[in-house]
């Protein structure tokens, strides 16, 4: 189930990613809240997660898509130096949020929620 206000698509670099809101993490394995499929340009996220876990999972999967968009992804991800990570963050996240202002509003709303039930499955 898609959370209220959550995006259906986002722009990640030159790609439009579909966000597939699902109701269970079962298909992902027990320790995953979502997944990013580069070849399908699709991010799957569990829409049943608490606000804080959803905020975390959304950024996590977009980061994966961003690595791919910038040419760093796939299974051969190198170990990055801290400066590389900082440069990526400084370039990628402003671009992503400028391209997806409604997603930013939704994501910020997640951070504003009291979330005492943050560890529900
Ligand atoms: Zn991951």
| pLDDT tens by residue, 75-112 | 555 667 778 788 888 889 999 999 999 999 999 999 88
The answer to whether residue 119 is domain-embedded is no
Least Cα distance to 42 among 23, 63, 18 occurs for: 18
Quote the number of domains for the chain: 1
The answer to whether residue 116 is domain-embedded is no
The answer to whether residue 37 is domain-embedded is yes
Average pLDDT of the residues in 28-38 = 80
- Residue 61 Cα to ligand 1 midpoint, Å, equals 6
- Residue 35 Cα to ligand 1 midpoint, Å, equals 7
- Residue 83 Cα to ligand 1 midpoint, Å, equals 20
The answer to whether residue 31 is domain-embedded is yes
Token digits of residue 119: 């560890």
With 0.85 as the threshold, say if the pTM is over it.
no
CB neighbours of residue 28 within 10 Å:
15
Domain housing 100: 9-111
Element (H, E) at 75: none
The answer to whether residue 117 is domain-embedded is no
Question: In the prediction, which pLDDT does 23 show?
Answer: 86
């Amino acid at each position: 189930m898609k959370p209220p206000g959550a995006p259906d698509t986002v722009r990640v670099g030159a790609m439009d990613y579909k966000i597939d809101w699902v109701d269970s993490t079962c298909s992902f394995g027990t320790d995953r809240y979502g997944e990013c499929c580069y070849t399908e340009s699709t991010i799957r996220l569990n829409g049943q997660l608490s606000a804080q876990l959803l905020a975390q999972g959304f950024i996590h999967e977009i980061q994966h898509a961003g690595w791919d968009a910038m040419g760093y992804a796939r299974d051969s991800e190198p170990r990055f130096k801290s400066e590389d990570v900082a440069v990526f963050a400084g370039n990628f996240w402003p671009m992503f949020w400028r391209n997806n202002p409604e997603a930013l509003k939704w994501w910020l709303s997640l951070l504003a929620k009291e979330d005492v039930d943050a560890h529900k499955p």
